[in-house]
Amino acid sequence: MRVADFHFDLPESLIARHPLAERRASRLLQLDGPTGALRHGQFTDVLEQLRPGDLMVFNDTRVIPARLFGQKASGGKLEVLVERVLDQYRVLAHVRSSKSPKPGSQILIDGGAEAEMVARHDALFELRFAEPVLPLLERVGHMPLPPYIDRPDDEADRERYQTVYAQKAGAVAAPTAGLHFDDELLAAIRAKGVETAFVTLHVGAGTFQPVRVERIEDHHMHSEWLEVGQGVVDAVAACRARGGRVVAVGTTSVRSLETAARDGELKPFSGDTDIFIYPGRPFHVVDALVTNFHLPESTLLMLVSAFAGYPETMAAYREAVAQGYRFFSYGDAMFITRNPAARGPEV
């Protein structure tokens, strides 16, 4: 399969650079995978798609203010984007500067903080801060808005680039399908008899990296840390026993569940995943998916195509563009039922 098969033309005007006034105000394009049928509506129509006995699985990761600005001790300006918190004082980070800092060099962070460059690990830099990392980031860090939101972050992003159920700090990008849910909608979902469960996957900046190979099969995914607990495994088993469907909220929830079920059986899992789901790869757990619209030629669009079928997915995207849906993190959403006969691009 070729990466170019997953290209589509997207007008700049459809990239959502700001959130709507209300989380639930987004539109919802509903795609029935088995038939390819499309239905337009509002995000609150997700309630109509859900049935009593279903299980919704959310990713409860919390986005940290992972972007820092500062300078080297020599005076050169730089930007730090934390990729992963290693312990109380150390992180792995991307560092943008005219000249890369060397091991042992000091970094002065705007707002009053210091770090030492300890070592380089391929494209990432290991930094050690002089004070605990997470409180430091809360004090002087900026929300790490995706590269296609080409504006500085503002105070509103601290709340809106975060799900209302975010619990476990560690992501540097939001699990964006969850941004549409507010407390009132979550209460209505539970009142309908739909169960909920939470996995954790700390989304990394690699989620925005372009696929730089021609053949999909040659691509290697970046690693992200996740946890699927025994409670989630039990909830899925109970859902299956009562005839309900497992509805994943976001591709990160899909990747979490399918990582924990890689051998065909869902088991508790904690650790790194580099799972890459593209057309032809099986799904062992997820029956339906809530997800935003994804970048052209991205691994996330490939995952959706594996779930709904390539022709059905690309047709839905063409319709979304034609109907003026808002794209990417702050954009609109889809509700997709899995296509058991999903096909990839024609050879």
Q: Can you give the pLDDT of all 347 residues of the chain as single tens digits?
A: 999 999 999 999 999 999 999 999 999 999 999 999 999 999 999 999 999 999 999 999 999 999 999 999 888 999 999 999 999 999 999 999 999 999 999 999 999 999 999 999 988 999 999 999 999 999 999 999 999 999 999 999 999 999 999 999 999 999 999 999 999 999 999 999 999 999 999 999 877 778 999 999 999 998 999 999 999 999 999 999 999 999 999 999 999 999 999 999 999 999 999 999 999 999 999 999 999 999 999 999 999 999 999 999 999 999 999 999 999 999 999 999 999 999 999 75
pLDDT at 347: 52
β strands within 60-212, DSSP E: 61-63, 67-72, 77-85, 90-97, 106-109, 113-121, 124-129, 168-171, 195-201
Q: Record the tokens describing residue 159, joined without a space.
A: 């709340």
The DSSP secondary structure of 163-187, one letter per residue, reads -TT--EEEESS--GGGGG--HHHHH
Cα 21 → chain centroid: 22
The DSSP secondary structure of 292-331, one letter per residue, reads E---TT-HHHHHHHHHH-HHHHHHHHHHHHHTT--BSTTS
Structural domains in the chain, CATH included, are: 3-63+157-337 (3.40.1780.10), 67-140 (2.40.10.240)
